[in-house]
């Protein structure tokens, strides 16, 4: 097992004092395959063409339009990320503190692009096995104190720079490049039941490949 090297981000961008966003955000996904014999459509079928991201305080849920993962649920009090995989009986979970892909460097570019009419800065996180780019404005503020232990996927590393939900992300690894872009935002009060596990669900811990 490899462990995450603690390399601090070079920038502390801002901490939003605005009311944290509560509601649902729709993202559209696109994929560019880097593997011979695997098409862009194959990856879209595997991982989903779109998803709805719902957030309430420190909990969030991602529901995909299609793909091998039906939904993903982060429960703050457990610091666990639960995944419902299609055709699998058990719901599997990941420890939010786990992250095998260590950060090498970070960079910020001001006013790099525009999404939904908002000027966005770009945060690039270069990792051992991937490159992650986040495009953000102050449009969708987050209480980052709720996610200090969410190291998986470099989520807290991103949030402590931006303090907001990204409007666009680009992730590149040795298999593909995926781009997720916000297409719709719906601010609304969400039921706490949305962020609860199904009753009597079978729960198992997932075994992660330390390469990713």
Q: Which two tokens stand for residue 66?
A: 């299609």
Confidence band, pLDDT 50/70/90 cuts, at residue 18: confident
In a domain, 46, yes or no: yes
**Residue 209 domain-assigned?**
no
> Which pLDDT value is given to residue 99?
87
Q: Output the CA–CA distances (angstroms, integers) from residue 80 to 12, 66, 90, 147, 152, in the order listed.
A: 26, 23, 15, 11, 10
| Domains of the chain: total | 1
Residue 73 is assigned to a structural domain of this protein: yes
List the CATH number of the domain containing 72.
2.50.20.10
pLDDT in tens, 94-148: 999 998 899 999 999 999 999 999 999 999 999 999 999 999 999 999 999 999 9
Enclosing domain of residue 117: 23-196
Closest CA relative to residue 111, chosen from 102, 101, 103, 122: 122
Asked if residue 2 is part of any domain, the answer here is: no
Give the pTM.
0.87
Residue 74 lies in a domain: yes
Q: In whole angstroms, what is the distance from residue 46 CA to residue 164 CA?
A: 28
- 134: in domain: yes
């Amino acid at each position: 097992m490899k462990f995450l090297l603690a390399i601090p981000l070079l920038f502390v961008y801002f901490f939003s004092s605005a009311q944290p966003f509560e509601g649902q955000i729709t993202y559209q996904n696109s994929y560019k395959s880097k593997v011979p014999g695997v098409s862009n459509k194959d990856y879209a079928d595997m991982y989903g063409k779109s998803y709805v991201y719902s957030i309430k305080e420190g909990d969030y849920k991602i529901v995909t339009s299609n793909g091998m993962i039906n939904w993903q649920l982060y429960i703050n009090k457990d610091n666990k990320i639960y995944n419902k995989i299609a055709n699998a009986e058990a719901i599997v979970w990941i420890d939010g503190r786990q992250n095998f892909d260590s950060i090498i460097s970070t960079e910020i570019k001001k006013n790099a692009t525009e999404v939904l009419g908002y000027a966005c800065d770009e945060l690039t996180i270069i990792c051992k096995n991937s490159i992650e780019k986040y495009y953000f404005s102050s449009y969708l503020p987050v209480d980052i104190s709720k996610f200090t232990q969410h190291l998986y996927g470099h989520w807290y590393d991103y949030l402590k720079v931006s303090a907001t939900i990204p409007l666009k992300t680009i992730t590149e690894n040795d298999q593909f490049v995926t781009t997720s872009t916000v297409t719709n935002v719906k601010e609304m009060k969400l039921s706490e039941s949305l962020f609860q596990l199904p009753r009597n669900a079978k729960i198992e811990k997932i075994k992660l490949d330390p390469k990713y």
